[in-house]
Structure 1
Amino acid sequence: MGGTFNGTPSTLAAMQATIDELSKPGFYERLFALGAFMRAELDGILDRLGLPAQSAGFGSVWLIYFLSGPYRDYQDLLRNDDAFDLAFRKEMIANRLIGQPLPLKRLYLSGSHDRATVEKSLDVIETILRRLSTRNTTRA
């Protein structure tokens, strides 16, 4: 396996520092608890705004499906409001929340996130969703 930075001292030091962080007691428990908090708060925001949407994810992974009713498989996800999803993701990026501007793509929390950062992100997300939902009154 070749590569410009493979095996260089700086790459190996970064790798070791990453392993050290990931090995700290409680690292994953804290990260997964933040993910659960994020998803629960997102569902609260969606309910308050009356949007036909729901959060999804696991561990530190989160996303919003902009559809009503249950989803069980990919066929159900085809009901996602891709136009609204894309507008939401573009607004997130414009507001300095990192994500892909592609509908149905997962978003992630990392070890650098803490509760305060997640709460700030949720405030921004609520503002974005409120603005988008009032602009798009044709959504049911």
Structure 2
Amino acid sequence: MAGAQVFFGVGTQLSTSYDAPTLGGVYKLVEEEVDGRTLYKIKLSTEKATYPGRKQVWRRTDAEGRFLSDVITLADEPPPPDAFPLLEEIMRGGRLVTSLPTLEEIRERTVENVRRLPEAYRRLRDAAEYPVSRSERLEELRQQVIAELQGV
């Protein structure tokens, strides 16, 4: 199919009806390698603030394996105690670097994850807010980049 034309439709209401919920997710560049130097990117707007640097999200568990909280760290930080990583490399250089799970494996993992989520977070009404925190190093990097942007 070399030379085939490709058209993109980008927007939040292209594949769902107007009144259907949409995912408010956005991809943003947070780090760039230029001539061997790391350049951190940051957005400071209150509605769309970002944290610079490559990250990992760790899920902390209790002794029974129930989910306690998530911690966002820089990718090279050591894991918090009793935590496992949530982000995995799937693509590199435009190529798949791992096998993808089957639909059955996805279903099984989803059922298991819901089972491990404490009831307080599973309720449809008055659910507790699941705790998510950021590491001290990530917060420090953000403040450092802000200071550099402000010429401090």
TM value normalised by structure 2: 0.24
The structure richer in strand per residue is 2
Larger radius of gyration: 2
Q: Compare the two structures and name the one with the higher helix fraction.
A: 1
Highest relative contact order (Cα 8 Å, sep 6+), 1 or 2? 1
